[in-house]
Structure 1
Amino acid sequence: MKDMKTKFSVKNIFRNQIFIPIAAMLLLLIFNLILDPSFFKVTLGYNSAGNPVLSGYLITILDSGSELAILAIGMTLVTAATGGQDISVGATAAIAGSVILRVLCGGNSRPEHMQAPIIVAFLVAVLASMLCGAFNGILVAYFKIQPMVATLILYTAGRSIAAWINNNELPVISDESFSYFGGFIPGICIPTPFLIALLCIIVTVLVMKFTTLGLYTQAVGINEHSSKLNGLNPIFIKFITFVILGVCVAVVGLIKVSRISTINYSVIAKDIEMDAILAVALGGNALGGGKFNMTASIIGAYVIQCLTTTLYKFNVQSDALPAYKAVVVILLVVSSAPTVRAWFTKTWAGITAKNVKEVG
């Protein structure tokens, strides 16, 4: 009876969707622990303003990975509902960041004081990003255009739109308070982006728990026709997931421009859409839509950042980084495939049965 219980529990572990991203994170951490234990060193120091801040590779992962985790929330919903991905999130983040700077600077690209409260600038950016998401959502939901093709429009034109918003100028915010969102709040030694990501995760958990958004999204992704017969509106659900992703992108846009208090239209959030998609895939979510696991996607985002930080730590050239990352991610994604997990489960069951037989 005990052997059967053990076999059942191990089988469930391998089949659990969250197993792969957690296993991947553990492998990366063990790899760093063996080659260089200093990877886990966290120190308390002071920044240029004299405020206490934590530093170290683990803090870098929490800091930079938070942007990806926020995007993974919206990308997971879009993927689950539409069976496709939004490749315009990087360009839309550039638009959101440009809008924030435009509102804060007004007509002067180098103002001595901000021309509007940061919350106002952020809300305007959220509206702009939601409009971008709505544009993508209309193309996908109403006009039945494949998501990757529909979002290719903003992917191509988004950064030009961002530059046009500020008349191709590079506005700079000199007010120190603006840098808090991408850095550290005085008196708090934890990076603000991680706190923002934590807030987004909490809001997402509450939304999933107290609304039917998750259930309806999965239903539409699994079988759009059946969900329609059961009284759902697949068009609206697909549309709203893109709008929600737009909100997530606006948050990332705020963090991005806050980090440097300005914007580089061609570089900001460059290739972040690929990492967001990889985070969703690494979380074991089917890229063809349907059932999803938000927790797995968020962990997958931090796994991607852990991988990136590890590669930088070992002095991998930035232009070669995507190639190294692609090889590792392919292995991780393939290992998360249902057929591979089923093979691992079957193999483990065979080994367990053989051991039990030998002991008996």
Structure 2
Amino acid sequence: MNRLTAVLRAPWFWAIAGIIVLLAINTIKDPGYLSIGLNPTTGMMTGNLLDILRVSAPIILIALGMTFVIATEGIDLSVGSMMAVGGAVAMQTLSTTDDPGSVGAMLQAIGLAVLLALVLGLVNGFLVSVVGLQPFITTLVMMMAARGIARVVTGGQNTNAQNEPFRQLANGQILGVPTGFVIALGIVVLVALLMRRTALGLMIEAIGVNPHASRLAGIRPKPTLITVYALAAVLASLAGVLNVAEVMTVNPSSTGNLMEMDAILAVVIGGTSLAGGKFSIIGSTMGALLIATLNKTVVFLGVPSAATPAFKAIVIIGLVLLQSDRIRTLVFRRKGALGAPLVPRRAKTEHASKEASA
């Protein structure tokens, strides 16, 4: 009883339920939707599930960074543009290096992309924590500035390059699992260990719950906020690297466009409150997988592009409502799923009155 209640209240439960429902709908349309096969030409595994895992990697990374920003009662609208910056720097580096096909060139491209994003993230954190600007305004300005930087880096043109090790980051496989998803999952594990094995996670939650009280408790909000925004920018840059590695080209105007919306939705679906406080890394990861599954479902079902936003909104609103304690109470109040069959309120009141009279 208590165990079932805990599962239903877990932030990741309804995200997983949503993924299962979407996969079931796709399977009804195509019974072979979940099948996985081997491509004899490339020697790699193929299937819709693997496609979902591959495209979910960038969403997982930006949602992970957004989780900690939102946990501090902030918001980061610049992560989509940070993806463009990361992709632009990586592609420009590979296209101009003397040895474009080497592993060294790949590492150099990724390092420069992360370094520039780190600087921009530190600027975000400084403006929010030290200057005292609102996170919404700060990151909105950075969203435009970072997009402009991406255009400057590439000269405003689509930039492509050839580097097989870099391409394999998104298109390769490790034991049949997309490499990009394995990388994203590894980063999730490392960040989770950082948050839960050190005091950083506790400080983030304390700042989100009550900044003033956390300051009185000896927590310094400014360094923590700077760290959070820098981490979000770095993770968004890595997401941009994985995004452009799939096609080996970057469009500074469209790469990462509106991805901040998917990141916010993934975090909210995962159970992290926009009011700040406690966060759920597993929940955000499951939320990102749900967004990726939903995007794939929209294409698979042939939903018209004009109706796609409405279709996604309906699904997401339904999941958010299921996460509400009030909605769950209404759904399960007369069912014994969360315990013994419940007695109507009036009957409970009458029974209590009789006991009091006795």
Verify same fold: TM over 0.5: yes
Tell me the CA shift for residue 342 of structure 1: 4.2
State the one-letter code of the partner of 2:285: I
Instruction: Pick the aligned partner of 2:279 from 282, 292, 313.
Output: 292
Measured in 2, the distance between the counterparts of 1:181 and 1:115 equals 11
- Name stretches of at least 5 consecutive residues in structure 2 with no aligned partner: 345-358
State the one-letter code of the partner of 2:192: V
Tell whether the 8 Å contact from 1:90 to 1:272 is kept in structure 2 after alignment: yes
Tell me the CA shift for residue 125 of structure 1: 0.9
Measured in 2, the distance between the counterparts of 1:305 and 1:104 equals 28
SS of match in other structure, 1:164: helix
Cα 1:13–1:350, aligned 2, differ >3 Å: closer, same or farther? Answer: closer
Tell me whether 1:103 sits opposite 2:93 in the alignment. yes
Instruction: Pick the aligned partner of 2:166 from 178, 185, 196.
Output: 178
Q: Deviations over 1:6-47 (max 9, x none)?
A: 2x333323322222212222222333333432221111114x
Instruction: Pick the aligned partner of 1:87 from 77, 82, 87.
Output: 77
Tell me the CA shift for residue 113 of structure 1: 5.4
Instruction: Pick the aligned partner of 1:67 from 34, 58, 61.
Output: 58
Structure 2 counterparts to residues 1-360 of structure 1, below 5 A? 6=1, 8-46=2-40, 50-81=41-72, 83-106=73-96, 117-184=105-172, 189-344=176-331, 346-348=333-335, 352-354=339-341
Measured in 2, the distance between the counterparts of 1:239 and 1:226 equals 19
Cα 1:350–1:172, aligned 2, differ >3 Å: closer, same or farther? Answer: closer
TM-score (norm 2): 0.88
Partner of 1:3: none
Amino-acid identity (%) = 32
Tell whether the 8 Å contact from 1:103 to 1:115 is kept in structure 2 after alignment: no
Q: Deviations over 1:271-319 (max 9, x none)?
A: 1110110000001110111011110110011011111111110111334
- Name stretches of at least 5 consecutive residues in structure 1 with no aligned partner: 1-5
Tell me the CA shift for residue 355 of structure 1: 7.9
Measured in 1, the distance between the counterparts of 2:13 and 2:162 equals 45
Tell me the CA shift for residue 121 of structure 1: 1.6
State the one-letter code of the partner of 1:183: N
Cα 1:343–1:355, aligned 2, differ >3 Å: closer, same or farther? Answer: closer
Tell me the CA shift for residue 106 of structure 1: 2.7
CA RMSD of superposed structures (Å): 2.5
TM-score (norm 1): 0.88
Corresponding residue pairs, total: 344
Tell me the CA shift for residue 204 of structure 1: 1.7
SS of match in other structure, 2:250: coil
SS of match in other structure, 2:277: coil
Cα 1:72–1:354, aligned 2, differ >3 Å: closer, same or farther? Answer: same
SS of match in other structure, 2:33: helix
State the one-letter code of the partner of 1:354: P
Q: Deviations over 1:43-74 (max 9, x none)?
A: 1114xxx4322222111110101111111111
Tell me the CA shift for residue 132 of structure 1: 1.5
Cα 1:337–1:239, aligned 2, differ >3 Å: closer, same or farther? Answer: farther
Tell whether the 8 Å contact from 2:69 to 2:229 is kept in structure 1 after alignment: yes
Tell whether the 8 Å contact from 2:336 to 2:342 is kept in structure 1 after alignment: no
State the one-letter code of the partner of 1:329: I
